[in-house]
Chains A and B, each alone.
Chain A
Amino acid sequence: MKNFEYAGADTVERATMLCAENGTKAIAGGTNLIDLMKLQVETPARLVDLNSIDDRRIEEEEGGLRIGALASNTAVAVDQRIRSDYPVLAKAILAGATQQLRNKASVGGNLGQRTRCFYFTNIDQPCNKRDPGSGCGALTGVARIHAILGASRHCIATYPGDMAVAMAALDAQVELSGLANKSRMVAVRDFHRCPGYTPELDNILEPGELVVAVHLPAPVGGTQLYRKVRERSSYAFALCSVAAIVDVKRGKIARADLAFGSIAPKPWVDQRLTQLLVGEKPNMALFEKAADILVDGARGVGDNDYKIPLVRRTLIATLCEATEI
């Protein structure tokens, strides 16, 4: 581990100011950042501890719910309002990591968690995300866990998390605060980014900018499912996952908001699926068609080819379960 300075910040304003300086990283639960620092994948010169910022509340606001960035994953998952009005979110969080990790992990940190790509986490390997220009070890290496959509030839890493996938299905908004109190809202769907030529940028945060809160829109009801496929039944990242909010009214699909995890550099949302499904009578042929659309641009590099049929089938299974056909 490298030596680093440590500074506490008790206001967002101070935190953003400190974080804007080169080599500075914010730390919340530390469950991801500290692991990476031990491996020297992250070598910040200074850590700014966000934990004294008084914003771990989950509160109702007009038309929805506001979740402070420092709320723990556990607090969100057990919140009664979230469990009853946004069950897909509670389910997604509970499908991730372990109780101990969820107790420590924060909402902001969960959005900010980095990829689990084996080449990213090993500093003796090439990785364009960690060390731009060094190449991508995964392209010709072990790529079982890698992206089949949205990747580029510079990086095929996935965003590995669960929580954000549910938030993307819910079309939640991320509230950001930057230098000089400049704040903005960005859809969770637009928060993470595809690598293109600049895989070192996981998301759209500007220097110094921090996640302050996540806003959930008004509850939409429907059947909400989070299906996570994995080799072992807990304590494993998804091979692929589907967050689904589906409502059937008078025999027709009235809502079909879908997001997919661990198949792309970001929670993957494909509006074409919603367009196809809404207004139709749920049936197998329709679901197959939706699944085909989802993977029509998907590409594997060998090891991860299996994700194409897997996510196809997982989507069909989820739609069947949600519509009870």
Chain B
Amino acid sequence: MTAHMKHDQPDERNVLDHMAQGIIGKSLDRPEGLLKVSGTATYAAEYVIDGCLEGVIVTSTCARGKVTSIDKQSVMSMPGVVDVINEPRMIARPAQGTANEAPEHKVGEIHYWGQPVALVVAETIEQARDAAKNLVIEYAPALAEFNPEDVVPEPQPDGTNEGDLNQAMEGADQCVDLTFTTEGHASAAMEPHAAIAQWDGKMLTVHASLQMLNYNIAELADALKLKQSQIRLISRYVGGGFGSKLGISEEVVAASVAAMVLDRPVRVVMSRQQVFQTIMRRSETRQRVRLSAKADGTFTGIGHEAVVSNLPGEEFAEPVTQSTDFLYAGDNRIMQIAVARIHRMTAGSVRAPGEAVGMPALEAAIDELAEKLGIDPIELRLRNLPDKHPVEGTPYSSRKLAECLTQGAKSFGWKKGKRTPRSRREGEWWIGTGVASAARVHNVGEAKARVTLRDDGTALVETDMTDIGTGTYAILGQIAGEMLGLNPDAVDVQLGDTKHPRGPGSGGSWGAASIGSAVFLACEAIRKELAGRAKVKAEKLTLKDGQIGTGKFSLPLTELIGGKSISVIGHYEPGAVEKNFVASGYGAFFAEVAVNHWTGETRVRRMTGAFGFGRVLNAKTARSQCIGGMVWCIGSALTEALHFDPNDGHLVNCDLAEYHVPVHRDIPDLDVIMVEERDPVASLIQAKGIGELGMCGGAGAIANAIYNACGARMHAFPMTPDKVLSAMPD
């Protein structure tokens, strides 16, 4: 049985609020948490499979050109070496998120330094690594552009141009015209990309670390020219993805090809350096932000134009202006993205593509405008919240931005009034505060999940949805438990296996809302079936602690099931509400920083984030997502940057020692406020995406705080000590 719904109308019923179990939203532990912290959760590379060979990817040492020869014989006699594989089914780039088809195949045509060109397979990982380093490859290198500043960027077709921004700027009481830069980011997930492939002549089974099995199976089938029915992908646990595992990447295909060629299981694990050099990056950006306002702070114009980069042929362009589009008022608007075609590794989705770098720039520009206007920066934002989409006129599905700004300000202890830089000093340290809004578009995807109410009174949830460390196992247990009157430990959630119905995949923060809606639909149908068996209306049912109550009588659920388990596939499909409303998560960041007068070192002393993202499904996992996002705000504000060699385009800081994500000591206690709301448009469970919102703007709050502390106005992220020192007044 299938329970299908296309989301064409807002769902105002708030069904989960009327259930009896009382677990939805509760701060519950993740059911798989203990396995993870005790090292007993099995990740992709950790399956022990007899006779498994080890493959090591060989990557190019030039950024552009052709492979003219690969001398297999240079390594075939080395100990343990089984084969060197470079065949047309392999892929040269990772697939973009939701690509649903194989990416570029031609491993012999080099487009970036670090591109896979071959796979060396040996009996042990050490042998394979050594042989991979010894493989003699000849290239015919070609000239290549590496620096986005050196090429003319191609404007994207879908910009916004309303009214006349230039005129608005000229006629404004105050305006700012600023150019910001952000550097490339790496996802830097703890678990490197890894796959083990097994081929039995008909069926390919692959353990891999992937975020979106529903798309990945199509991508892999396309790459290998197999039918989807010949492939089983398994990704039960994913040690972080942050976008880098949205599409299949080279190790999955290489392991599969090798397993099919050699008729033995093959494992391919990328080295840390390869993860950095070969997998997706977030593009660096150059952003021009223009704001024009009347003396009372009303925006008359807003411009956000960005240059991003990608490889030739890639469609993805970091959507920097995505939330600027609907966030603030202003009749005269320009939003435009242009792509510089350069030869660095593929640019793609890294956590919160677009807003992660676009919002900090916008929010830093607003701070400068607020200073010029002499208006408190919170007040300035509040004065510019439109009632509806400023261009299209569509309504907001729900928006707690004003509440987040005011509640956050209260919790943080924001002082209204004139803000003078360099007015607080403790010893060598300048102390300052800053604020920024958060916004991140809400997305949903088609999703299916099977829910079975078993005759022993427990439930089983099955979908190929993944849990990338975010808490999907936990919240699906809570949704099904709430709907079916069961404690979460009576709900067995099985994820990350394509033998189950197709989920939406984890990406774009859409997982919980989409797959949660599918589970919800299945449970609703089960409730209906139970009501039928009890001969009452579904609304009359009370399900709690394995008991079923009808108002007239109450009996154990198992009796009503009576040996006939009920199994329903819930099928959620995004619908017309997507077009008819603007749906987004909102929030506000507040940061207090200390900047060292002598060295320019910046440390965040406290940070508050207040967020509204619809229904909270699990207060603990939701809060953890916010914290993770805020940590990344600190990283992107202060340290994270990919550095590319100007001569040959290779990425130089390609490990966790040199690519600086924040360490524990950089993170103060983070204050997270969740401003609950119900969003009838976001999903059938009234929840919006959380995963990315927490990092969309916070780096701007830190930049603003640095200025307020020491008077250094910077427009280049990350704000490392060298930049702070050169911008700090004497």
Which residues of A are at the interface with B, using a C-beta cutoff of 8 A? Answer: 1-3, 38-40, 116, 118-119, 122-125, 137, 140-142, 144, 229-236, 239, 306, 309-310, 313-314, 316-317, 321
Cβ contact of B639, chosen from A1, A2, A229, A232, cutoff 8 A: A232
Within 8 A of A (CB), among B620-671: 638-639, 643-647, 650, 652-653, 657-658, 660, 662-666
Q: Mark B595-618, 1 if CB is under 8 A from A, else 0.
A: 011111101000000000000000
Alpha-carbon distance between A233 and B61 when the two chains are bound, in angstroms: 34
Once the chains bind, are A124 and B643 in contact (CB under 8 Å)? no
Closest A-B pairs by Cβ, 4 of them: A306-B722, A317-B598, A118-B652, A124-B61
Within 8 A of A (CB), among B536-574: none
> Can you list 24 pairs linking A and B with CB atoms under 8 Å apart?
A3-B130, A38-B129, A39-B273, A118-B653, A122-B650, A137-B645, A137-B647, A141-B647, A142-B645, A142-B646, A230-B601, A231-B601, A231-B718, A232-B663, A233-B603, A233-B665, A234-B665, A310-B600, A310-B722, A310-B725, A313-B598, A314-B599, A317-B428, A317-B597
Q: Take A116-B658, A310-B725, A317-B599 as given contacts and tell me if A231 and B647 are in contact as well, using a CB distance cutoff of 8 Å.
A: no
Within 8 A of A (CB), among B110-167: 126, 129-130, 133
Once the chains bind, are A236 and B598 in contact (CB under 8 Å)? no
Q: How far is the CB of B717 from chain A (nearest CB, A)?
A: 13
Chain B residues with CB below 8 A from A310, complex form = 599-600, 721-722, 725
Chain B residues with CB below 8 A from A119, complex form = 652
Once the chains bind, are B428 and A231 in contact (CB under 8 Å)? no
Q: Does B406 contact A (CB under 8 A)?
A: no
Chain B residues with CB below 8 A from A239, complex form = 721-722
Once the chains bind, are B663 and A235 in contact (CB under 8 Å)? yes
Q: Does B726 contact A (CB under 8 A)?
A: yes
Once the chains bind, are A141 and B646 in contact (CB under 8 Å)? yes
Known: A123-B133, A317-B596. 5 other contacts (CB 8 A): A118-B643, A309-B725, A314-B599, A316-B598, A317-B599
Alpha-carbon distance between A156 and B721 when the two chains are bound, in angstroms: 21
Q: Does B720 contact A (CB under 8 A)?
A: yes
Chain A residues with CB below 8 A from B657, complex form = 116, 235
Q: How far is the CB of A153 from chain B (nearest CB, A)?
A: 16
Once the chains bind, are B647 and A236 in contact (CB under 8 Å)? no
Once the chains bind, are A1 and B665 in contact (CB under 8 Å)? no
Once the chains bind, are B720 and A141 in contact (CB under 8 Å)? no
Alpha-carbon distance between A141 and B721 when the two chains are bound, in angstroms: 20
Q: Which residue of A lies closest to B600 (CB)?
A: A310
Once the chains bind, are B643 and A142 in contact (CB under 8 Å)? yes
Alpha-carbon distance between A143 and B79 when the two chains are bound, in angstroms: 38
Q: How far is the CB of B646 from chain A (nearest CB, A)?
A: 7
Q: How far is the CB of A84 from chain B (nearest CB, A)?
A: 25
Once the chains bind, are B598 and A232 in contact (CB under 8 Å)? no
Q: Which of A40, A119, A310 has the most CB of B within 10 A?
A: A310
Alpha-carbon distance between A125 and B645 when the two chains are bound, in angstroms: 10
Alpha-carbon distance between A234 and B603 when the two chains are bound, in angstroms: 11
Once the chains bind, are B130 and A1 in contact (CB under 8 Å)? yes
Chain B residues with CB below 8 A from A321, complex form = 428
Once the chains bind, are A234 and B663 in contact (CB under 8 Å)? yes
Chain A residues with CB below 8 A from B643, complex form = 118, 142, 144
Chain B residues with CB below 8 A from A234, complex form = 663-666
Cβ contact of B598, chosen from A3, A38, A39, A314, cutoff 8 A: A314
Alpha-carbon distance between A234 and B79 when the two chains are bound, in angstroms: 42
Alpha-carbon distance between A235 and B664 when the two chains are bound, in angstroms: 10
Alpha-carbon distance between A205 and B421 when the two chains are bound, in angstroms: 53
Q: How far is the CB of B598 from chain A (nearest CB, A)?
A: 4
Cβ contact of B721, chosen from A38, A231, A235, cutoff 8 A: A231
Within 8 A of A (CB), among B710-728: 718, 720-722, 725-726
Q: Take A118-B658, A141-B647 as given contacts and tell me if A233 and B663 are in contact as well, using a CB distance cutoff of 8 Å.
A: yes
Once the chains bind, are A1 and B129 in contact (CB under 8 Å)? yes
Cβ contact of B638, chosen from A38, A231, A316, cutoff 8 A: A231
Q: How far is the CB of B19 from chain A (nearest CB, A)?
A: 45
Alpha-carbon distance between A154 and B149 when the two chains are bound, in angstroms: 30
Alpha-carbon distance between A306 and B726 when the two chains are bound, in angstroms: 8
Alpha-carbon distance between A239 and B645 when the two chains are bound, in angstroms: 19
Chain A residues with CB below 8 A from B665, complex form = 232-234
